[in-house]
Structure 1
Amino acid sequence: MRLTATAKAITALAVATVLGVAGLLSCSSDDEPVGTVKVVSTLGPGEGSLNLVTLPGAVESGSSDPRVDWVTPFQKRTGCKVAWRVVKTPREMTDLMHDKDRRYDGVAAPPEVAGQLIADREVTPVNTNLVDGYKKLEPRLRALLKRSGKYYGVPYVWGSNLLMYDTRVVQPPSSWAALFDPAQARRYSGRLVVRDSPLSIAEAALYLKGRNRKLKITDPYSLNARQLAAAGRALAGQRPHVKKYWELPADAVSAFAGGEAVLGEAWPYQVDVLTRASKPVQGVVPSEGVTGWMDAWMIGARVQHPNCMYQWLQWTASPDVQQQVAEWTGVAPANPQACAGDRLKPGFCNAYHVGDRAYLEKVIFAHTPTKECAPNGRPTGKHDCTDYADWTRVWIQSTKQ
């Protein structure tokens, strides 16, 4: 999850519908994790507990800010007491969900985690018919975690990766070349910022897709060894000109606000915050395309409290909770109804492209890099691509060593 932003006064939450069908039945499938809880077909009353794994900001109970609390109302309405483990990195999240001695009910997974959990059968398919309001979520987002006709997650929040620049210093960039072409990057040497994540390799791959057609890059998140090596060289060439590789979104905000940075990779969050602070920045969609990410709630393969977990899926997909999450974390809600009525302000919704399906269709959403070449996340059975471990190694070599 993303860094929390200054929260506004929180509107009252909608009453969660408690699923009242008695009993818990299951059906089996060859695609389901062996020796684990199978796909739920009906639900009974909540079991009284819920154990989750998240990155910072995904779950709030008022401890960070008393106005920001979507846990307490859920507990009062459902009787499901929520406990959650906050991890610092996607790798830590993956390791916890793989630990056979731990039984987490759910996880708010970013793309580099979600695909791995599906591949390793550490999550259970979701019966979307049991998630009231599921069909109100953006169709493009719902499709991202669909495998063999089954859905493995409920979209929570999303965002895109833009080029942000200081309008006083930088001529409007039109391409990722502004960051990755050595000659262009040199113009603003020492004043560039780049997101500190192996998935940032995808932006370098997009740049190379147009710059070196002999590489034959199609999906920037599915790279063979030759393509990954080329992206690594582009990153290494960029490195001398980078002021900061930002992990926390606020770090990029501070760099631009203080004049230390004038060009870099950013989310709509940074553009929005700086613009509202009257800083002269703009965000642009490069000609090669824009990448993006989605965090989704997934059900653990060793889920102990499925009824409470499904009620949590329904709760966090509701417009009022989505409004709170979006404001607090500075991301786009998966449910565009969060922008309806008097919830999120039009300025916020426009800045984050909420409900803009034409924009959503153009976003190249991240998926976990795997050995199987997987355009759009669909495995082909060919093991000639590179996985996330390879990407992590190349990222460290190109930007840290």
Structure 2
Amino acid sequence: MRRMATARARMTTALVVALVLTGACSGQDEPVGTVKVASTLGPGEGNLNLVTLPGAMESGGNDPRVDWVTPFQERTGCKVAWKVARNPREMTDLMSDKDRRYDGVAASPEVAGQLVATHQATPVNTNLVDGYKKLEPRLRALLKHSGKYYGVPYIWGSNLLMYDTRAVQAPSSWAALFEPEQARRYSGRVIVRDSPLAIAEAALYLKGKDRKLKIGDPYSLTAKQLAAVGRVLAKQRPHVKDYWALPADAVSAFAGGEAVLGEAWPYQVDVLTRASKPVQGVAPSEGVTGWMDAWMIGARVQHPNCMYQWLQWTASPDVQQQVAEWTGVAPANPQACSGDRLKSGFCNAYHVGDRAYLDKVIFAHTPTKECRGPGDNKGKHECTDYAEWMKTWIESTKQ
């Protein structure tokens, strides 16, 4: 089973991300955020301490053929240790703890924005990362804040509308899933991913359905807009068979004919298609949402030279190939699909190198009080934060 994908769904819904964190100091009582951007690299310090969610690191323990840690250690002399966080909240807490000095973190969207906002991440000198400019430009841009780059793209994915071609006429809009009358057609055979961030897909539907709401960025919603989305989800709930947390659950539901319409990732579409199941995934007309994980440097980095070597290593095509194949996600470096690395079928299924597609993806960020985007979301009103999204999600889908 593709482990990163499994971990992502489970971790996303586990706990509310901490949105207000106390400023911390390093072991030398140096204020967070004063760590300078590296200008040159020296020899490795011999050690590297990282924080990840499950599946982001492999050293042959789960499969001896899957190991991108040991070769790095042998090549650089940097001995790698990593702490596996149970969820994004714990990941944020670990990187913000003044008594801990982690060098870097494989940050999900819920984490990355908070580390930047609370000065728990150090800007990256991208000139010191060989191959950085080979990474997808759109992904690189997501990590730019106030003229500085706060990470190196690692992996990404998108959220699609998947359907059984035998039972459902090809949908073109999120309305097929969120419009109550349309969802009723497939009542009891609809599945939705179990994540508060799935609110964004319903917001995209409402953006076109009710223009008076003036929804702009689907991840930046005012209280009125969020309440409207909550009502849509509550009306959809009677028709939903399951809110899936594990990708395998969505695969099983479609493979067994228990589900015919729902939210999915390219992962499920790929697995079911290769198993000759009659499914297709489409990008709805209102837009498709997505996510990106990135390696970020901690504010209290102790081994900066080893950390930069790790950034270069994980951005390389060969490592990106391993990560993509093992985790079932798209690599940030499209060169992973060049030569005899990833198979063309995999690359096509995950839209690797398809910049026309990638440019249309609306990438997730942590919902905060500060509004973003066009229309009423452009600094005119206070928006809702992740805690409010979690509350709305639970009330609309669980109660």
The answer to whether the Cα contact below 8 Å between 2:32 and 2:300 also exists between their aligned partners in 1 is no
Q: Compute the TM-score of the two structures, normalised by the length of structure 2.
A: 0.90
Q: How many residues align?
A: 373
Which residue is equivalent to 1:342?
340
Distance 2:4 2:275 in 1: 17
Q: What pairs with 1:2-401 in structure 2 (closer than 5 Å)?
A: 3-4=3-4, 34=32, 36-375=34-373, 384-401=382-399
The answer to whether the Cα contact below 8 Å between 1:33 and 1:124 also exists between their aligned partners in 2 is no
Question: How far off is 1:60 after superposition?
Answer: 0.4
Distance 1:189 1:33 in 2: 55
Greater Cα shift, 385-394 or 73-82: 385-394
Q: Compute the TM-score of the two structures, normalised by the length of structure 1.
A: 0.90
The answer to whether the Cα contact below 8 Å between 2:104 and 2:307 also exists between their aligned partners in 1 is yes
Distance 1:362 1:389 in 2: 27
Q: Percent identity?
A: 86
Question: How far off is 1:308 after superposition?
Answer: 0.8
Question: How far off is 1:33 after superposition?
Answer: 6.3
Question: How far off is 1:88 after superposition?
Answer: 2.8
The answer to whether the Cα contact below 8 Å between 1:60 and 1:68 also exists between their aligned partners in 2 is yes
Distance 1:380 1:207 in 2: 20
- Note the aligned Cα RMSD (angstroms): 1.8
Distance 1:34 1:101 in 2: 12
List structure 1 segments (4+ residues) > 4 angstroms apart after TM superposition.
Answer: 379-383
* Matched letter for residue 163 of structure 1: L
Distance 2:111 2:187 in 1: 33
Distance 1:344 1:149 in 2: 34
Distance 2:192 2:359 in 1: 24
Question: How far off is 1:163 after superposition?
Answer: 0.2
The answer to whether the Cα contact below 8 Å between 1:36 and 1:302 also exists between their aligned partners in 2 is no
Secondary structure at the counterpart of residue 178 of structure 1 = helix
Greater Cα shift, 85-94 or 116-125: 85-94
The answer to whether the Cα contact below 8 Å between 2:32 and 2:120 also exists between their aligned partners in 1 is no
Q: 1:339 to 1:245 in 2, by over 3 A?
A: same
Distance 1:84 1:239 in 2: 40
Distance 1:373 1:159 in 2: 24
Distance 2:139 2:357 in 1: 12
The answer to whether the Cα contact below 8 Å between 1:39 and 1:124 also exists between their aligned partners in 2 is yes
* Matched letter for residue 3 of structure 1: R
Distance 1:35 1:189 in 2: 51
Q: 1:214 to 1:33 in 2, by over 3 A?
A: farther
Question: How far off is 1:221 after superposition?
Answer: 0.8
Q: 1:3 to 1:234 in 2, by over 3 A?
A: farther
Distance 2:385 2:5 in 1: 33
Question: How far off is 1:375 after superposition?
Answer: 2.2
Distance 1:110 1:127 in 2: 20
Structure 1 gaps, min length 5: 7-31
